[in-house]
Structure formats: C-alpha cells, structure tokens
Amino acid sequence: MKKDEQTKEASYELIHDYLINISPEQQAIKAAYELLKQEVQTFKQHNTLLDKKKYDIINSQRELLHLDATATDLLRLSQEVLEREAAEKEAQRQRELAQAQDLAKEQRQRAEEQKQAAVNLRKWALLATGVGVIAFVAAIIAVIFGVQSQQNADRAEQEAHRATSRELTLASSNNFDKDLDLSLWLAMYAVAEDPNKEAEAILRRTLEASYLEFSHSGSGNPIYDVAFSPDGTHLATAGDDGFVKIWDTSTKKELFSFPHADKVYAITFNPEGTALATACGDGTIRVWNISSHQPKIFSTSHNDAVLDITFSPDGSRLATSSQDKMVKIWDVISAQTLLTLTHTTQSRSVDFSPNGAYIATAWDDGTTIIWDLYSGKKS
C-alpha cells in the first residue's frame, strides 16, 4: 500500500506489477487488484459489500495483495454476509423439501389403505364361491365392490400426486421473488408429481425468469435510453422524468442519479467509462464525471431537443443530433463546437466511424449522410 501523490488517498500496489509482459496468473492478480480498489472506494462511500462473484475474484488472490484495514474489513464483512445468506438459502430449501415429502407420505399412506381394503374384499369373495347360488351371487357382488375399491384406491393415489403437486406449485410461487433457484426446483418436482396446467405454468415462468439478469420497474415514466459502462459494471438509464440513474450490474442496486430539468432522450459512456454524456429535451448537453457526480460540460447551443449523443472512439470528441436540424461535433476538453452539420429535417441518430474520421447522420426525410470530419463535407 502507498499514498497516491495526486489524491493523497491510500492506493494498493500489486506484487511484481513492474513486469511489462505479465502472465495469466499476474493478469488475474491485477484484475483482483483493480476490482478491490474500486470496491473499497464504493465501500467507503456507500458501505456496499461484495457480492459472491466479486468476493471470489478478490479472495482468490488475497495472499498476493497488500490489504489495509478498510480492505480487510470489506472482505471480512462480505464473507460473513455471504455465508449467512448461503445458510439461510439451504435451510429454506430443506424446509420446503421436508414439507413436500411429509405431504406425499401422508397421501401415499391413504392410497395404501384403500388398496388393502380392496384386497380384503377380494378374499371374502373367494371364500363365498362354494356356498351355493346365494353365496355365488354374494361373491359376484363382493368382486364388484372389490373392483370399485381398487378404482377408489387408484383415484386416491392420483389425488395424492395432485395434492403434492399443488403444494409444490404453491411453494414455488411463494419463493419466486425470494429465491428463484428454489422456485425452479420446486416447480420441476410439481410437474413430475402431476403435470397439470398450474404446475406447468409456474415451471415456464421460473424457466423464463432464470434467464433474466436484471429487471426494474420504476415510476411508470418512459425510459428513452440505456447504456452499459465499457467494463460492464454499471448500467445507466434515462427517461421522461429527467433523472439519469446509475446501477450496479452485480448487486442490481441503484448507486446514484443525475437530475435534469427536462426529459433525457440519450446517454452514452466515454470509452474509459469515467464520464457519461446526456442529451435533453430542452437542448442542453451535459458530460457527468462518474466519480464526482458533477457535470464537466454544460451547453445550450441547440435550439431544440437533443435526440442522440455519442463519443468518438478515442473519447476526445462528442457528437449530438437534434430536432433543430443540426448535428454538432464538440471538443470534450474545451467544450467548444468544432463543426456544425445541417439538413432540411431533424436528425434522430448520429455515430462515429471506428477510426473517428467520419460521422454518419440519420434524418427524418429518410436521408442518411456520411460526413468527412476533416473537410466537413459529405463523403
């Protein structure tokens, strides 16, 4: 550990980080270091602990990292929470399983009693076959009742399976929002007991949800744009309510938000993931610093709503398209307009070429134009 000369805060130094060409093992250490550094900062600011995936990555290289007191506390507290959650999950699974097994045992015992009654009736029918016509008729009647008893026993067994399936289906539904893995397991057993419509419906529902990584239902206002950070650790959402929200993709929790005076139509991260550009309905443009949560650039040079915004591949320029029939190219450092491109209709979309030398614009009259950014002319 050493002190950062610029920020004056503690930073972590990897063992053998001086190597130029690092091996896969050193790459793993470096990845753990970068993740630890980021998570310690988040822990200090928001008291957020590690999820299992992040904990496993850092803990696997723990002996090769220099940990200060804060990092040690973060790992210790995260381990305690993860172990407690795992124990609670297993205990819940065992309780659900025990309930289902008890119900199945009770229903099968009832079915066995019905079967035994049918066997007893058949025995009495056989004894009556040698006692004359009356006895013969009585035997026939007994056999008929025996068949009916067997049918009743079969129905009882079917009902036992249905009852077990209903209990498992209900348990699966009750656990859907709390423990999706347990809900899926219970749904599969419910269908195995009795493939009825309710059991199959909850199985389909849990299977579909098991592929879902993240879902959030907000205030009901439209969401106009979403963007992942380059490293995939954050997700930004923008919408009609004027708030841009930043989410942690691992914990699925909102970290912070950026307020705007009007609806936000478009957002984009810079290539480094350190800044987020936003385009608003009132024509304003902001570039927010992800660490400080403050806007780096504020501009009102568009005369109408800005519908799209994007960074150049090297992150040095920013392009915006607007309802005012203009596309503007900006210098990110100076916040000055470098180039203005115009057309007869509003522009809804804009994008840089991979080498950053050209820009494509889409207009409402069905026109798509590629521009040479060095000459400012149509390519």
Q: List pLDDT tens digits, range 289-328.
A: 999 999 877 677 899 999 999 999 999 999 999 999 999 9
Q: Is the pLDDT of residue 118 over 70?
A: no
Tell me: do 203 and 231 sit in the same domain. Answer: no
Query: 60 in a domain, yes or no?
Result: yes
Q: Which CATH number does the domain housing residue 333 bear? A: 2.130.10.10
Instruction: Return the pLDDT at 6.
Output: 55
Query: 303 in a domain, yes or no?
Result: yes
Per-residue pLDDT band for 15 (boundaries 50, 70, 90) equals: very low
Tell me: do 100 and 182 sit in the same domain. Answer: yes
Query: 136 in a domain, yes or no?
Result: yes
Q: Is the pLDDT of residue 62 over 70?
A: yes
Q: List pLDDT tens digits, range 140-178.
A: 777 776 777 677 777 878 888 889 899 899 998 898 888
Tell whether pTM > 0.95: no
Angle between helix 24-46 and 69-127 (nearest 10): 100
Q: Identify the weakest region by mean pLDDT among 109-113, 137-141, 192-196, 365-369.
A: 137-141
Distance CA 199, CA 183 (A): 11
Tell me: do 252 and 350 sit in the same domain. Answer: yes
Tell me: do 11 and 50 sit in the same domain. Answer: yes
Instruction: Return the pLDDT at 16.
Output: 45
Q: List pLDDT tens digits, range 197-252.
A: 998 998 988 888 766 565 666 667 899 999 999 999 999 999 899 999 999 988 88
Residues 6 or more apart in contact with residue 263 via CB below 8 angstroms: 224, 239, 240, 241, 242, 280, 281
Domain count, the chain: 3
Per-residue pLDDT band for 136 (boundaries 50, 70, 90) equals: low
Give the mean pLDDT of the chain.
84
Average pLDDT over residues 44-57: 90
Tell me: do 7 and 139 sit in the same domain. Answer: no
Q: List pLDDT tens digits, range 255-271.
A: 999 999 999 999 999 99
Tell me: do 103 and 50 sit in the same domain. Answer: no
Element of type H or E holding 77: helix 69-127
Tell me: do 108 and 234 sit in the same domain. Answer: no
Q: List pLDDT tens digits, range 30-43.
A: 888 888 888 998 89
Average pLDDT over residues 4-31: 60
Instruction: Return the pLDDT at 216.
Output: 61
Query: 196 in a domain, yes or no?
Result: yes
Distance CA 244, CA 263 (A): 9
Q: Is the pLDDT of residue 28 over 90?
A: no
Tell me: do 50 and 104 sit in the same domain. Answer: no
Q: List pLDDT tens digits, range 67-85.
A: 899 999 999 999 999 999 9
Q: To the nearest 10°, the Cα dihedral for 126, 130, 134, 140? A: 30
Instruction: Return the pLDDT at 276.
Output: 97
Tell me: do 268 and 354 sit in the same domain. Answer: yes
Tell me: do 236 and 349 sit in the same domain. Answer: yes
Encoded tokens for 270: 């810079």
Distance CA 285, CA 17 (A): 40
- Asked which of 154, 178, 210 is the last residue of a domain, the reply is 210
Query: 317 in a domain, yes or no?
Result: yes
Which structural domain range is residue 25 located in?
A: 2-67
More confident residue, 283 or 100: 283
